[in-house]
Amino acid sequence: MAHRASRAHRASSLLSTATLVALAATALPATATAAEQTDPVPLDRLYDNTAISDDARPQAADFDGAGASLSAQDLSAAGWRPGTRLNLDAAQLALPASRPGTPDNVRADGQAVKLHGRGNALSFLVAATSPGAAGQGAKGTGTIRYRDGSTSSYDLSAPDWRGGPHSTKAISLPHLNTPGGQQAERPKLYAVTVPVKRGAAVDSVVLPEDPGPDADLHVFAASVRAEASAWTGSWGSSTSGYTAVGPWTDQTLRLVVHSSAGGNYARIRLSNTFAGTPLRVGGATVAVQGEGAKPAGKPVRLTFGGRSGTEIAAGAQAVSDPVGFRVPAGSNLLVSFHLPERVEAAPVHSLAMQTSYISAAGSGNRTGDTDAGAFGGTITTWPFLTGVDVGGGPGSVVTLGDSITDGQGSTKDANRRWPDFLAGRLRAASQDGAVPAYGVLNQGISANRVVGDRYTGDGVSTDVGGVSAQNRLERDVLAQTNARTVFVFEGVNDARWSFSPDEIIAGLTRIADRAHARGLRVVVATVVPCEGEKLCSTAQAEATRTKVNDFIRAQDGGTFDAVADFDAVVRDPAQPSRLQAQYDSSDHLHLNDAGLKAMADSLDLRKLMP
């Protein structure tokens, strides 16, 4: 009980008498404490803290020991309503069903939580409060218990709700409630995952002990993230930013995407990443592309939980129900979805290298159209759509990269990015059983870096370089459908922007460690030359690239399971700091179709196999 006593002492020095009375009125009985708890119980039976208040009664909650709390109205406006189930990084998390002003989270202190399921991770909705040292966050080590009697430990870190980063948040809100009135601040909650023993059935989880007198680690929800072993990711795209659009009102987007793996069943993923408000989808379909916006056949209607449309809360994702639809491998698809309400900003993948289509304002739901007549407008981004999965198959290879992976320098509308060439090689090699017919998910973002966010992760911005590879790893790799291998090809932008080689090496190492902890194979490519491009034409940039490449090559079979020496493939033998002229797209940084194909062709496909 010492931890509880220290908390009470800390709170008493910070709270007003009125707030202490309100807190006492909502406290759980002593039977909920870890010291007296004998068996795992559902998380909501352990709630001992109130984080959410009604704007009219802010004194009814005290999240941080200083009287501050989250606004119930702000959460509802973001689609985060009591009891709602949200898909966050491919995990289903049920929000507390508590009314505002009643307990809605537990301060981690060794409690045993009943939690069942099989999967690849545990997901927690968390935040830290640290009134004495705002922004430091909280962390601790807990235990996962399995039905076979075995256990494993995990480390859980929760960023501070006020001072933590926006780039890894699940949601941020526009206000902070206090007894003295509402403040314009951006409090945040985080969805954090930890690895489990794959294939083992989880029976319960023991939360970390109290992190100490300077911080509390709060848990709002927890679940087992299920495996997607019945699916293979066929196409994927990273959200690179949150930009102003349209506005779009009662219009239909018809997006063109290119499959890698094929299958007889399909589903799509729509994401409201970085958003502050819900997205309403009125209907959606999928079809094989005929010509332009015209489908080759009648579009197949998609449903979400049996309904034609869905609402996607801010920061969350929606996955459509499985539908019988044959996705040909290596083909263009048309994914159409209707936006019935006004949309002024959207999460986008900015460098699609592909023309897609949009109907006129007020034209309504045209997702089922069998001709192109309604789609008079074009767009060159992929808003909202982040994945197409096919039934069955061996799983997916995820390519985590920057503009070179994204396809800048390749021929537009031709699907000649290097991951497209790689997917073609995998399909061909799988015919004689040399390698599985993995799907290839292109998670490249133009201007992306290993170290340092380009986009801050919050609010409408013109910067679409994404959050760093480290900060998007959970969403863009670990949560991807049946991911088996991650292929990392980043670092040139870090060198161009004067990050040190030690920072880049540390970032690549952390990415590998986190991926390995989830059971993924890690392949890393050397950084290709770029002398001649303005930011690359410095001795410092070349020295950084060289040192990073020396490290990558030395870690073949060590920190990394395998290495692909793309630098050796495309550099000019006479001037190794420059691209070969035959592979240069003309800007000395990006490769043309021939250079992108040369990289994909150089890869020993067996390196991708776990």
Which pLDDT tens digit goes with each residue over 590-609?
Answer: 999 999 999 999 999 999 99
| Digit-coded pLDDT (tens) for 238-249 | 999 999 999 999
Question: Of the ranges 22-36, 166-180, 272-286, 477-491, which one carries the lowest mean pLDDT score?
Answer: 22-36
Degrees, nearest 5: CA angle 441-444-447? 175
Residue 501: predicted pLDDT: 98
> Which residue spans of the chain are classified as CATH 3.40.50.1110?
394-610
What mean pLDDT do residues 584-590 have? Answer: 98
| Digit-coded pLDDT (tens) for 198-222 | 889 999 999 999 998 889 999 999 9
Report d(CA 120, CA 227) in Å as an integer: 6
* pTM score above 0.75: yes
Report d(CA 224, CA 18) in Å as an integer: 39
Work out the mean pLDDT of the chain and round it to a whole number: 94
Q: What class does CATH assign to 394-610? A: alpha beta
Instruction: Give φ, ψ of 526 to 5 degrees.
Output: -70, 155
Q: Is 36's pLDDT higher than 80? A: no
- Please report which helix (H) or strand (E) contains residue 112, including its range: strand 112-117
Report d(CA 551, CA 336) in Å as an integer: 45
Residue 199: predicted pLDDT: 87
Report d(CA 417, CA 440) in Å as an integer: 11
Report d(CA 19, CA 252) in Å as an integer: 50
What whole-number percentage of the chain has pLDDT above 90? 91
For 288-321, letters b (16+ CB in 10 Å) and e give: bbeeebbbbeebbbbbbeeeebbebbbbbbbbbe
| Digit-coded pLDDT (tens) for 96-139 | 999 999 999 999 999 999 999 999 999 999 999 987 555 689 99
**What is the CB neighbour count within 10 angstroms for residue 35?**
12
Q: Is 25's pLDDT higher than 50? A: no
Burial (0-12, 13-18, 19+ Cβ within 10 Å), 196:
buried
What whole-number percentage of the chain has pLDDT above 70? 93
Higher pLDDT, 434 or 386: 386
Q: What is the 3 state secondary structure string of 489-552?
A: ECCHHHHHCCCCHHHHHHHHHHHHHHHHHCCCEEEEECCCCCECEHHHCCHHHHHHHHHHHHHH
Kindly compute the dihedral angle of the four CA atoms of residues 468, 222, 62, 9, in this order, to the nearest 10 degrees: -100
What are the Cα distances from residue 589, in Å, to 172, 380, 454, 542? 36, 22, 19, 13
Q: Is 509's pLDDT higher than 90? A: yes
Residue 27: predicted pLDDT: 39
> Which residue spans of the chain are classified as CATH 2.60.120?
242-388
| Digit-coded pLDDT (tens) for 393-416 | 999 999 999 999 999 999 999 999
Report d(CA 285, CA 338) in Å as an integer: 9
Report d(CA 350, CA 406) in Å as an integer: 10
Q: Is the peptide bond before 278 cis (omega within 30 degrees of 0)?
A: no
Q: Name, in order, each residue with C-beta under 8 angstroms of 352's C-beta and a sequence gap of 6 or more.
A: 237, 380, 381, 382
What mean pLDDT do residues 62-83 have? Answer: 97
Say which CATH architecture domain 242-388 belongs to: Sandwich (2.60)
Q: Is 15's pLDDT higher than 90? A: no
- Please report which helix (H) or strand (E) contains residue 398, including its range: strand 396-401
Residue 133: predicted pLDDT: 54
Report d(CA 524, CA 563) in Å as an integer: 5
What mean pLDDT do residues 354-370 have? Answer: 98
382: β partners: 349
